[in-house]
Amino acid sequence: MISVLTPLPVLLPLLGAAGALLVGRHPRTQRTLSTLVLSAVLAVSVALLVLADESGAHAVSVGGWPVPLGVVLVVDRLSALMLVVASTVALAVLVFAVGQGSADGDEETPLSIFHPTFLVLIAGVSNAFLAGDLFNLYVGFEILLTASYVLLTLGGSAPRIRAGITYIVVSLLSSLLFLAAIALVYAATGTVNMAQLAVRLAELPEGTQLLLQSMLLVAFCIKAAVFPLSAWLPDSYPTAPAPVTAVFAGLLTKVGVYAVIRTQTLLFPGGALDDVLMWAALATMVIGILGAVAQTDIRRILSFTLVSHIGYMVFGIALGTSAGLAGAVFYVAHHIAIQTTLFLVAGLVERQGGSTSVDRLGGLARSSPLLALLFFVPAMNLAGIPPLSGFIGKLGLLEAGVADGSWPAMVLVGGAVVTSLLTLVAIARVWTRAFWRPAVQAPGADTAAAAAADAGPETTPEPVAVTAGTPAPAPGGSTATRRRPRTVARARAWARHTAVATDTGPSQDGFGDRHLDPRPGPDRPLPGVMLGAASAMVALTVALTVVAGPLYGYTDRAAGDLLDRTPYLESVFGGETVR
């Protein structure tokens, strides 16, 4: 049974992408197909989770080729958990994107491109989690990165193209480093099968092991956004559409973290670079959260907190103990759900308030109490407020650090506490200013309104098409498409609209540039499908707290398998001796 199910998380999205491309002229059929495919992937992933927990790791040799000649897919407790969490958030993000496309109009949303590309991205993520050899892991990375290049630049606006170029350059650099490391590993050992490498790498000279381990870790730390290799992330993610940013923030960096876990536990279990990872974890936590505190845009704040909280996961990996790995795996699952949820809610905030800048937002709690609740719950979870799952994950990591007892571990414990407090500061500032501060007008709005009113009655304002690199017309200026408002109230509303447009550039709610809606938040109801998807994700984050006990027990068993390595090796080679 498990042999049949294991390849499906990769095959189903690829077949679904082909089908979605064929029916690109029929958006409704395309949406239905994509949703059904990801629902099936989620069901298969849950089945693999149950089977892996009951019977242990299992390997499938694709095409019937003997190991290690063929492509091997391995599902164990860790990879099964990652598949379940990834497919869950992918389905929620897809539903959110479908609601957004329906609300904004299919004619302005390139659904024919988005759906097959999104499914290819999920296939790459699944392949990376199941890969049993280094080259197949590389293929998984390249599949998801190729799809991410397309998703990141949807709409073709100048900010997205600039961010896409940065992202592509950094990704290609890490991929080239990874490929060079694979070539050196093969030259030194004669194989890229990870089960064989677990034995053969230990026979190499220590200097050679250290070089290979360093190259792999640097490549994976770039993908995971570990400091000082994380500067690319805050400038790349915030420019993308809300669903794309959400899936990027939730999944892509965690694939890098997953690869680091495999490297440190399966290939190089000696802990030669554990101290280096500890200091990298500390720098990632502290530098990332200081960057978040300094930001005034919600998406950039969340991007910096994303970087910062990668440090918690690296902390658990660097400890190298069962408790540390269990805490790291739990925190990975928790953070995928939380970060995805917060970026989806940020997309709703932008629709409601016209901006993600906290300086231009206010009164959201009064205009949309549900939106305030959707932000508050995952935000407090991210900050680690008891008894939410964020607190449980951080507490497990802190206990593992204290149990380790070394002075670097104790420094990391202190850094983790400070990071958690500063996360609360950054989130609280968004909460108080964007949601509870009275609604304020943009700077200069009153002056513009008075000038427009003095000019005399005219026709009602029309939205301005804001394109990349072109600022919105100044309230007092004149263009061929702009008319002066006929009342002071309309003038003030128009001034607020043009000021927001100038501040934020092209709308990032849709997948392409479109006309901004000048109506204030209360007059612009949020689409029900988008609210439903975000609410489901918030419910999932609460559910993680409810099932935290069983989930932590599962991650304990997964950590035991990672340290033992025997279940993984036996699943690939059966009862044969690995050589």
Longest dimension (CA), the chain: 89
- Can you tell me the distance from the alpha carbon of 414 to that of 285, in angstroms, rounded to the nearest whole number? 11
Tell which wins on pLDDT, 502 or 399. Answer: 399
- Can you tell me the distance from the alpha carbon of 107 to that of 201, in angstroms, rounded to the nearest whole number? 55
Q: Is the CA virtual torsion 344, 350, 351, 353 positive or negative?
A: positive
Spell out the residues 6+ positions from residue 215 whose beta carbon is closer than 8 angstroms to its own: 177, 178, 180, 181, 184
Q: What is the DSSP string of 473-538?
A: PPTT---TT----SSHHHHHHHHHHHHHHHHH-S-SSSSS--BPP-S-GGGSPPPHHHHHHHHHHH
* Residue position matching structure tokens 């707290």: 545
Q: Determine the average pLDDT of the residues in 36-64.
A: 91
What is the value of pTM for the model shown? 0.84
Asked if residue 527 has pLDDT above 90, the reply is no
Task: Quick: pLDDT tens for 531-565.
Answer: 899 999 999 999 999 999 999 999 999 999 999 88
Task: Quick: pLDDT tens for 190-238.
Answer: 899 999 999 899 889 988 999 999 999 999 999 998 988 888 888 777 7
- Can you tell me the distance from the alpha carbon of 313 to that of 278, in angstroms, rounded to the nearest whole number? 10
By three-state DSSP, how is residue 432 classified? helix
Task: Quick: pLDDT tens for 385-435.
Answer: 988 999 999 999 999 999 988 898 999 999 999 999 999 999 999 999 888
**Residue 69 burial by Cβ neighbours in a 10 Å radius (0-12, 13-18, 19+):** exposed
- Can you tell me the distance from the alpha carbon of 443 to that of 495, in angstroms, rounded to the nearest whole number? 9
Cβ atoms 75, 29 nearer than 8 A? no
Task: Quick: pLDDT tens for 442-471.
Answer: 443 343 344 444 444 443 333 333 333 334
